[in-house]
Structure 1
Amino acid sequence: MSNSSVAPFVKWAGGKRQLIPQIKERMPEKYNDYYEPFVGGGAVTFELLPANALINDINKALINAYRQICNAPEAFLKAVKKLDEEMWEDGKEYYYSLREHYNDKLMKAEFDVELAALFVFINKHCFNGLYRVNGKGLFNVPYNNSRRVSVDAEVIMATSNYLQGVTIIDGDFELACKDAKKGDFVFIDSPYAPLNPTSFESYTKEGFDIESHKRLANLFDELTARGCYCMLTNHNTDLINELYGNKGYKIDVVSVKRMINSDASNRVGEEVIICNY
């Protein structure tokens, strides 16, 4: 399937837009079903537009946005337009009032069109498009002083059309891959292993610790044994090389710009693309 209007509707930490060329040149020539257990902003899914796809993320607010755009694009666009048009003279005060309302709905688990609209508005108007929550699961990123519109209606409608044929779930990455079988392609863009082993930042209150990385490496081995094509991207760290090295997997190191970093000098780094084929 191809539609040049389909594109990510949120900015996401660790998003793979800049790695698309390196990912595409390493894709298997043919595959059956497509699985992405850590979809995030969906840069890879929306580039490839696979016909039989399952996308998953543990972030329920993010997946709610995917579902609302899939199932109720007109209502979603109307709700976002209302938020954009009602912005007060004081954008900062308006942003924090909406952030508080968003967190209130999140605590009540009100996963509806309004929450999806708030989610996308806040993503476009928060610092660096970063999704970060505190220990209570409350979104706490400050305002970025932007007053731009939150979405492109054409992109949302094209994305909604594509998502009609996609299975969208929110849960653990192992469950997301339970039906992956021989000949299927699994693209794994897990939360980054920390560059500093003592710092694990999380974008969901559940977090993704060293044990999670070990469990994911075991899943990669299991999917390999099933005959799935697997590709995994992460920081080029000792932990990742320990977990995937010496197993016969192809590990390529690529240079990247780190978009989300307050210190510009730290915005260049290395990532690995690991393939089992």
Structure 2
Amino acid sequence: MSHSSTQPFVKWAGGKRQLLEKLRSRMPSACKKYYEPFVGGGALLFDSKPEQAFINDINRELMHTYEAIRDSRDEFISRMEEMDRVTCTKEFYYKTRGRYNEKLSGGEYDVEMAVLFVYLNKHCFNGLYRVNAKGLFNVPWNQKISGKSIDIENIKGVSYYLQNVTITCQDFETALEGAEAQDFIYLDSPYAPLNPTSFEAYTKEGFTIEEHRRLAEVFRRLTDKGCYCMLTNHNTELIHELYDGFFMEEIDVRRAINSNASKRVGKELIIRNYR
């Protein structure tokens, strides 16, 4: 694995850029295949660049964008440069959001959709990806008229690396069916609720407590198969209960996406089935 400068191309809820040093130092010294079934922005993926990687996320629009950057790099860059030549006013942002939602409604998963996806991510409030009951993107403008949507050289590096990466959009359990002994799996699922009335869901499907319980069962099955597993989540009673018996470390984190600045600090757990 190498540690070059390729970076995530989107800001994503729960992104792990601030924890890279801690996560990197806790990865196994050697492994076969790399799996990340909740890849999000891919901070650890792009930092470590494993030779044989399988990445997945339930957000179809996100994974479509990964594929577009991998398979249609030049068109993606050209279209993005064209968009960035226009000042991002309030009117232009909402026109762009409307166009994106038209493509969502029509199921038009093409390069333009990927470009709009990244553009909205860079110009919406706090980089959130949120949809309404109809599945349409509804995050408001961030009120900033300047700023490029991409780093072209970074996109080229991302595209080059992704050429040999398997990209899927399916249930996390299905995405891990091929994992074998000595493979490394990094699990960065949506956060467990901090209290019974608190939920953090980034797609219209959500991620329930029952899903967290199912994830813990998958973690144990992968352990029995001899896989190396590392998981990050909130430091809560639920997570302690679900992963009882595994090696847990508490770490301090910043929560860059929370709309309430006073809640942008907290504690998380790094959980492993190896030391």
TM-score band w.r.t. shorter chain: over 0.9
Structure 1 residue 3 displacement after superposition: 6.5
- 3-state DSSP of counterpart to 1:262: coil
* Structure-to-structure mapping, 1:9-48, within 5 angstroms: 9-48=9-48
Tell me the alpha carbon deviations over residues 161-206 of structure 1, each in whole angstroms, 9 at most, x when there is no partner.
0000100111110011000000000000000012132122321111
1:192 aligned residue? 191
- Percent identity, aligned pairs only, is 58
1:263 aligned residue? 260
CA distance in 1, matches of 2:131, 2:241: 29
* Structure-to-structure mapping, 1:1-277, within 5 angstroms: 1-2=1-2, 4-87=4-87, 91-146=89-144, 147-245=146-244, 248-277=245-274
1:276 counterpart letter in structure 2: N
Structure 2, gaps ≥5 residues long: none
CA distance in 1, matches of 2:101, 2:209: 28
Structure 1 residue 83 displacement after superposition: 1.5
CA distance in 2, matches of 1:241, 1:26: 19
CA distance in 2, matches of 1:254, 1:204: 26
Structure 1 residue 262 displacement after superposition: 2.3
CA distance in 2, matches of 1:30, 1:251: 21
Tell me the number of residue pairs that the alignment of Structure 1 and Structure 2 aligns.
Answer: 273
- 3-state DSSP of counterpart to 1:224: helix
Query: Do the aligned residues in 1 keep the contact of 2:185 with 2:227 (CA within 8 Å)?
Result: yes
CA distance in 2, matches of 1:108, 1:225: 44
Structure 1 residue 263 displacement after superposition: 2.2
Query: Do the aligned residues in 2 keep the contact of 1:5 with 1:154 (CA within 8 Å)?
Result: no
Instruction: Decide which moves more: 98-107 or 119-128.
Output: 98-107
1:266 counterpart letter in structure 2: K
CA distance in 1, matches of 2:193, 2:3: 36
Query: Do the aligned residues in 2 keep the contact of 1:133 with 1:202 (CA within 8 Å)?
Result: no
Query: Do the aligned residues in 1 keep the contact of 2:2 with 2:50 (CA within 8 Å)?
Result: no
CA distance in 2, matches of 1:158, 1:244: 36
Query: Do the aligned residues in 1 keep the contact of 2:5 with 2:47 (CA within 8 Å)?
Result: no
- 3-state DSSP of counterpart to 1:168: strand
CA distance in 1, matches of 2:79, 2:3: 25
1:160 counterpart letter in structure 2: S
Query: Do the aligned residues in 1 keep the contact of 2:190 with 2:200 (CA within 8 Å)?
Result: no
CA distance in 1, matches of 2:2, 2:241: 38
- 3-state DSSP of counterpart to 1:21: helix
CA distance in 1, matches of 2:266, 2:3: 32
TM-score, length of structure 2 as denominator length: 0.96
What is the root-mean-square deviation of aligned Cα atoms in Å? 1.1
CA distance in 1, matches of 2:195, 2:81: 41
CA distance in 2, matches of 1:191, 1:109: 25
- 3-state DSSP of counterpart to 1:204: coil
1:95 counterpart letter in structure 2: Y
TM-score, length of structure 1 as denominator length: 0.96
Structure 1 residue 225 displacement after superposition: 0.7
Structure 1 residue 4 displacement after superposition: 2.8
Structure 1, gaps ≥5 residues long: none
1:54 counterpart letter in structure 2: F
- After superposing on structure 2, the runs of 4+ consecutive aligned residues of structure 1 that deviate more than 4 Å are none
